[in-house]
Amino acid sequence: MTTDEATKSTRAGQPKSGTGWLAGNALSVAMFGAFLVFIVLQSVFGWHVRNEELAEYGRAADSYWQYLTTGHFAEAVFENWESEFLQMGAYVLLTAYLVQRGSAESKQPEEKDRPDDDPAGATGESPRASRGHGPAQFLYRNSLALVLFGFFALSFVSHLIGGAAEYNEQQALTGRPPVSTLEFLGSSDFWFQSMQNWQSEFLAVGALIVLSIFLRQHGSPESKPVTAPHRQTGE
């Protein structure tokens, strides 16, 4: 393979010769590996917190596997997933229409659609869905945001169900009547849990957008090149 051919192959997203599967997928492996470690640790620490609470009320402790089916665990997991997918879905969608001058996270102010966004420019290597027409093409053109918002909706419902279960577990411990899932949806408890996560997610993304105007991280695609001027928008 010539140098030009190798360059074209790399630009097309093909791994360089000799690059193994792990090296080619190291970023996603690292992220999902960290996720597994942290969710296991969360479940273990949450299990101990739950059993300490049960002991205060003179109730029998849950086994670890019982704990994984409780509202205590479900609420804690899904209220965080909910905010993450909302933030990412909103970010993907908003960056398609809004700009921030000087930010590495923004497209150029005068840029609307990129050349490769035009279905007329599809090649044999383009995904088949990108060459479609009508509703199928619309869905594929917006598939990333749609899937992220879909995950948000699933997490929102799971948070609601898990939160209602946890709320009713607390009600039972204190001898008070349970509430329905819809009643919990209208409670301050549910929306307090959601808002405390939503605000932090948008703060973090907003900070990244603005800080990337003036600060750099060598080697990161989330940063402009170290020598790039502050006024440069995009990478």
* 212 and 234 together in one domain: yes
pLDDT tens by residue, 80-91: 999 999 999 999
Residue 11 lies in a domain: no
- Label each residue of 137-175 as H, E or C: HHHHHCHHHHHHHHHHHHHHHHHHHHHHHHHHHHHHHCC
* 63 and 100 together in one domain: no
Residue 46 lies in a domain: yes
Question: Is the pLDDT assigned to residue 134 strictly greater than 80?
Answer: no
* 94 and 208 together in one domain: yes
- Structural domain span for residue 171: 71-115+128-235
**Quick one: pLDDT at residue 3?**
45
For the chain, what is the radius of gyration of the CA atoms? 23
Residue 17 lies in a domain: no
Question: What residue type is assigned to position 149 of the chain?
Answer: F
Kindly report the CA angle at 61 between 55 and 66, in degrees rounded to 5?
145
Residue 106 lies in a domain: yes
Q: Taking the mean position of all CA atoms in its chain, how far away is CA 180? A: 29
Range of weakest confidence among 32-36, 38-42, 142-146: 142-146
Tell me if 78 sits within 8 A of 162, measured CB to CB: yes
Residue 185 lies in a domain: yes
* 149 and 36 together in one domain: no
| DSSP H or E stretch at residue 7 | helix 3-11
* 32 and 104 together in one domain: no
Distance separating the N- and C-terminal Cα atoms of the chain: 29
- 156 falls in which pLDDT band (50, 70, 90)? very high
Residue 70 DSSP label: S
* 135 and 212 together in one domain: yes
Give dist(CA 19, CA 40) in Å, integer: 31
Average pLDDT over residues 41-64: 96
* 91 and 28 together in one domain: no
Non-local (6+) Cβ contacts of 228 within 8 A are 216
Neighbours of 22 (CB within 10 A): 8
Residue 1 lies in a domain: no
Percent of the chain exceeding pLDDT 70 equals 83
Residue 12 lies in a domain: no
When divided into structural domains, the chain yields a total of 2
Question: Is the pLDDT assigned to residue 224 strictly greater than 90?
Answer: no
Residue 195 lies in a domain: yes
* 143 and 153 together in one domain: yes
* 135 and 42 together in one domain: no
Tokens standing for residue 234: 């995009």
pLDDT tens by residue, 180-196: 999 999 999 999 999 99
Residue 129 DSSP label: G
**Quick one: pLDDT at residue 233?**
84
* 157 and 221 together in one domain: yes
* 59 and 160 together in one domain: no
* 98 and 209 together in one domain: yes
